[in-house]
């Protein structure tokens, strides 16, 4: 006899006497009464409710038992950091852009991995295991004393085996804990946690800090999608805990599958932030934008790989999987990592017409911010303000979606092209150029119109 999870897809192979059916479910055959099955997939709320019933009956597993099993996890420390191979010297007289990008990216990744390896060698597994032990003690001590209205929901969360049902339980718990005293919230923080055998958080409602700096329980959200990174990043077992490092991932192996987000937002999306919906934003405001969250990367079998800071990832929500697939070459080849940043023409332009003019007064040229992690392009227009004056801070904003690479009109020129829109109400426009990469005397160079020098917004706008 075997119990199937709610929502398991089955095919009826034969109708038997009475209400009994012969079924094939996930490659297994069996028998069950017809009333247990329906034609439609149950919702996540229905599955969460069934999980509550399953653990609240006389034969159900208690919350104490579930917590004991949950906190049996053991963190073993980080995996060895893979070093990128040594970069072979370029032998061609005029290397192609692709070759130069490959060599540059390999060298940058190797440098980053060396630094991360030195840092992770100092990490001791004992610290994070002690944290888990303290949380276990707290959870076992307090869970039976939680308010009666919370206990069934806590048990439902601990018993949920599917990400969507778990998400529904967390949402109900978050709503039910509003206005509860601190001691109840501390107990929820310890008890409403699910870990895999390596100590990786795979769901919960735990303490965090809001953008305003106040403590508040932060939930995990079911947020399927894909993510790219630009530089090697450390994945952790617990969101934001450096002492729970698991592994270092290589940006050339992206995209990674995302299952959950640990965030205060209702849902994680590619362009759901309010500031991205504005046609313009101030330079200082842009620099202050933080996601205040982490995403859980998983492998193809949904086995957790670890948590990643959302500010270090370009996130494509599930509906944009095709856009992520198209954009993959730009992220994995080193193009995005090389172009990422602020670009300008410090010489400006002259009234006599461009950089080659003879006029003595030079005026401010356009400034461009290419941010592939947030998938935005920000820019200013040319002005009649002298180049030595402070630059105007409003930046016109463009959202990016699909990214392309293509050949330029000159030899060894690679163009970067994007699908963009200036506002959520606008249609996406294809073919907007994000500049070109060339090789000059063996060195990579980037140019977007007249901007070809890398800078920072803090330096450019004299921001502190």
pLDDT value of position 84: 64
* C-alpha to C-alpha distance for 188 and 207, rounded to whole angstroms: 9
pLDDT value of position 258: 97
Span 344-371, average pLDDT: 79
Band (408; pLDDT cuts 50, 70, 90): low
Span 29-49, average pLDDT: 59
Contact 207, 187 (CB under 8 A): no
Contact 147, 180 (CB under 8 A): yes
pLDDT value of position 440: 85
Listed ranges 35-44, 54-63, 229-238; the one with the highest mean pLDDT: 229-238
Residue 16: burial class (beta carbons within 10 Å; 0-12, 13-18, 19+):
exposed
Structure confidence by residue, pLDDT tens digits, 49-74: 544 444 444 345 788 999 998 899 99
pLDDT value of position 272: 82
pLDDT value of position 48: 44
pLDDT at 46 over 60: no
What is the helix (H) or strand (E) element at residue 172, kind and residue range? helix 163-176
Nearest Cα residue to 315 out of 346, 350, 272, 266:
272
pLDDT value of position 59: 43
pLDDT value of position 58: 33
pLDDT value of position 28: 64
Span 123-150, average pLDDT: 95
pTM over 0.95: no
Q: Helix 151-159 to helix 44-56 angle, to the nearest 10 degrees?
A: 110
Higher pLDDT, 414 or 409: 414
Q: 118 in helix, strand or coil?
A: helix
* C-alpha to C-alpha distance for 293 and 427, rounded to whole angstroms: 29
Contact 214, 261 (CB under 8 A): no
Contact 287, 275 (CB under 8 A): no
Higher pLDDT, 269 or 186: 186
Band (338; pLDDT cuts 50, 70, 90): very high
* C-alpha to C-alpha distance for 186 and 189, rounded to whole angstroms: 5
pLDDT value of position 442: 82
pLDDT at 342 over 90: yes
Taking all residues of the chain, what is their mean pLDDT, rounded to a whole number? 86
pLDDT at 303 over 80: yes
Residue 178 half-sphere exposure, CB side, CA atoms within 13 Å? Answer: 6
pLDDT at 240 over 50: yes
* C-alpha to C-alpha distance for 329 and 40, rounded to whole angstroms: 39
Higher pLDDT, 172 or 355: 172
pLDDT at 463 over 70: no
pLDDT value of position 1: 42
Band (331; pLDDT cuts 50, 70, 90): very high
Percentage of residues in the chain having pLDDT higher than 90: 59
Nearest Cα residue to 297 out of 285, 287, 288, 307:
307
Band (3; pLDDT cuts 50, 70, 90): very low
pLDDT at 2 over 80: no
Structure confidence by residue, pLDDT tens digits, 77-123: 999 987 765 555 555 555 688 889 998 999 999 999 999 999 999 99
Q: In the 8-state DSSP scheme, what is residue 2?
A: -
Percentage of residues in the chain having pLDDT higher than 70: 84
pLDDT value of position 55: 41
Structure confidence by residue, pLDDT tens digits, 430-462: 888 899 999 988 899 999 999 999 999 988 877
């Amino acid at each position: 006899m075997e119990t199937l999870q709610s929502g398991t897809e089955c095919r009826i192979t034969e109708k038997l006497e009475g209400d009994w059916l012969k079924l094939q479910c996930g490659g297994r055959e069996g028998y069950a009464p017809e009333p247990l099955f329906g034609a439609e997939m149950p919702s996540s709320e229905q599955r969460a409710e069934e999980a509550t019933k399953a653990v609240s009956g006389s034969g159900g597993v208690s919350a104490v038992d579930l917590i004991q099993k949950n906190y049996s996890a053991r963190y073993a420390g980080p995996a060895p950091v893979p070093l990128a191979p040594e970069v072979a010297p370029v032998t061609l007289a005029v290397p192609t852009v692709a070759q130069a990008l490959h060599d540059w990216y390999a060298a940058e990744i190797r440098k980053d991995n060396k630094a991360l390896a030195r840092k992770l060698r100092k990490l001791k597994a004992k610290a994070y295991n002690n944290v888990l032990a303290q949380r276990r003690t707290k959870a076992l001590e307090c869970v039976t004393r939680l308010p009666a209205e919370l206990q069934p929901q806590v048990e439902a969360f601990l018993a949920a085996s599917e990400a969507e049902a778990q998400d529904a339980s967390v949402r109900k718990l978050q709503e039910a804990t509003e206005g509860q005293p601190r001691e109840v919230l501390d107990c929820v923080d310890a008890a409403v946690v699910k870990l895999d055998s390596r100590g990786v958080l795979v769901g919960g409602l735990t303490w965090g800090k809001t953008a305003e700096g106040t403590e508040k329980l932060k939930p995990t959200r079911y947020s399927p999608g894909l993510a790219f990174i630009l530089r090697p990043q450390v994945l952790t077992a617990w969101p934001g805990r450096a002492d729970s490092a698991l592994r270092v991932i290589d940006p050339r192996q992206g995209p990674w599958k995302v299952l959950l987000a640990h965030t205060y937002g209702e849902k994680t999306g590619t362009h759901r932030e309010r500031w991205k919906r504005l046609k313009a934003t101030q330079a200082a405001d842009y620099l202050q934008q933080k996601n205040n969250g982490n995403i859980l990367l998983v492998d193809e079998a949904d086995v957790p790989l670890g948590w990643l800071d959302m500010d270090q990832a370009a996130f494509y929500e599930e509906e944009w999987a095709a856009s992520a697939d198209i954009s993959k070459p730009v992220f994995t080849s080193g193009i995005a990592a090389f172009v990422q940043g602020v670009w300008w023409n410090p010489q400006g332009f002259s009234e006599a017409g461009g950089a080659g003019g003879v006029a003595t007064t030079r005026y401010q040229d356009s400034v461009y911010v290419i941010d592939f992690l947030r998938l935005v392009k920000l820019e200013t227009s040319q002005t009649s303000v002298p180049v030595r004056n402070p630059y105007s801070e409003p930046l016109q904003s463009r959202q990016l979606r699909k990214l392309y690479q293509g050949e330029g009109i000159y030899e060894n020129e690679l163009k970067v092209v994007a699908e963009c829109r200036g506002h959520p109400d606008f249609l996406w426009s294809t073919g907007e150029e994000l500049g070109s990469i060339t090789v000059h005397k063996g060195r990579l160079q980037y140019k977007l119109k007249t901007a070809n020098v890398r800078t920072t917004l803090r330096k450019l706008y004299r921001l502190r």
